Amino acid sequence: MTEDRARFARELRSIGLSVPRSAAARSLPAALKIARRIGYPVMMRTGFTLGGKGSGIVRTEAELRARATEAFTSSPQILIEEDLTGWKEIEYEIVRDRADNIITVCNMENVDPLGIHTGESIVVAPSQTLTDREYFLLRDLSFKAIRHFGIVGECNIQFALDPRSDEYRVIEVNARLSRSSALASKATGYPLARIAAKLALGRLLPDLKNSMNDTTTSEMADFSIGSSEECRRRTTFLVGEKYGGKALAGCRNRLALGRQVQAIRQHDGPSPQAAVDPDRRPRHRESRSDPKRRRV
């Protein structure tokens, strides 16, 4: 249900959750018609694919023709939706059992705004700029969506949040372990894969111990985590450029722990190349203002 873009949006609207203005298309003429109605630029998402393959921001009709034609070679459906570039990108890792016990393991916030794929960005957990009201609003909406879909085990839900208002949009739900689940496990010490496997066998959350600390299940970690993903030949994580492009890129995940984001930055530090070659520093500033695969 969560992979069928049209049904996903329809189900969320039926329970009062906001999703981007969008419509699904199964042909090129239908996609062009939807884009004209919404207005360019638009976000094109490919249905039934992993890693955002074939998805991205489309600014002109000619670009949509090319992207949609390619997308239809691997998927029967694409979704055309409003462009939310510049909104905050927030993600919640949720665990639920068959008795409807549900918890938030952690939430994460992209340092970069929506429009830059998570795999090209820096992620901080827990979120640093949400107010208590915003945090609990999105948390409650997460629970509402996951319960509606009947997901048992681990999943994550991604939101776009307007920094100038209380408007939000549900971007997607991954009803499975994903790349961000690995970060959440490392960040909190909560063994998501292990717990999800036990829940799939019918166990209940109150009966499960966290193998990292031998206590019952808990919700939040009391520290900040910064993760920057750098593209390298040796691959630990695979990511798809949903916003900046369509090709998969191999990435290595770097993790820094600290009580404050400033401490994380100290852990990160300047690269040895920048120290040796001062001329590289201006190029680093330029690359951060226009993120690409190698910019972090």
Mean pLDDT of 150-174: 93
What local confidence, expressed as pLDDT, does residue 291 receive? 52
Q: Which of 7-21, 48-62, 180-194 has the highest mean pLDDT?
A: 7-21
**Domain that residue 173 falls in:** 88-224
CA distances for 253 relative to 144, 248, 271, angstroms? 31, 15, 16
In a domain, 255, yes or no: no
- Does residue 39 carry a pLDDT above 60? yes
Q: What is the pLDDT of residue 226?
A: 57
Please report whether residue 184 resides in a domain.
Answer: yes
78 lies in the same domain as 103: no
CATH of the domain at 62: 3.30.1490.20
| 137 CB neighbour count, 10 Å cutoff | 16
Q: How far apart are CA 246 and CA 257, in angstroms?
A: 31
Q: pLDDT-derived band of residue 188, with 50, 70 and 90 as boundaries?
A: confident
Task: Answer yes or no: do 96 and 195 share one domain.
Answer: yes
| Residue matched to tokens 């949040």 | 161
Q: Please check whether residues 63 and 151 belong to one and the same domain.
A: no
What value does the mean pLDDT take over residues 258-286? 50
Compare 26 and 116 and report the one with higher pLDDT: 26
- Are residues 32 and 77 located together in one domain of the fold? yes
Instruction: Give the number of other Cβ atoms within 10 Å of residue 33's Cβ.
Output: 14
Q: In this structure, is residue 57 part of a structural domain? A: yes
Residue 21 vs residues 6, 55, 189, 213, 263: alpha-carbon distances, Å: 11, 16, 37, 44, 40
Query: Between 248 and 258, whose confidence is greater?
Result: 258
Q: Which residues contact 112 (CB under 8 A, 6 or more apart)?
A: 89, 120, 121, 122, 291
* Cβ–Cβ < 8 Å for 254, 231: no
How many domains does the chain contain in total?
Answer: 2
* 9 within domain boundaries: no
Give me the mean pLDDT over the 184-208 stretch.
87
Same-domain check for residues 41 and 105:
no
192-200 vs 179-188: helix crossing angle, rounded to 10: 110
The answer to whether residues 203 and 110 belong to one domain is yes
Same domain membership, residue 220 and residue 119: yes
Edge-to-edge strand ranges of the sheet holding 42-46:
22-25, 78-82, 42-46, 56-58
Instruction: For residues 75 and 103, state if they share a domain.
Output: no
Same domain, 115 and 185: yes
213 and 100 in one domain?
Answer: yes
At residue 191, the 3 state secondary structure works out as coil
Give 246's pLDDT tier (boundaries 50, 70, 90). Answer: very low
258 burial level (CB within 10 Å; 0-12, 13-18, 19+): middle
The DSSP secondary-structure symbol of 36 reads H
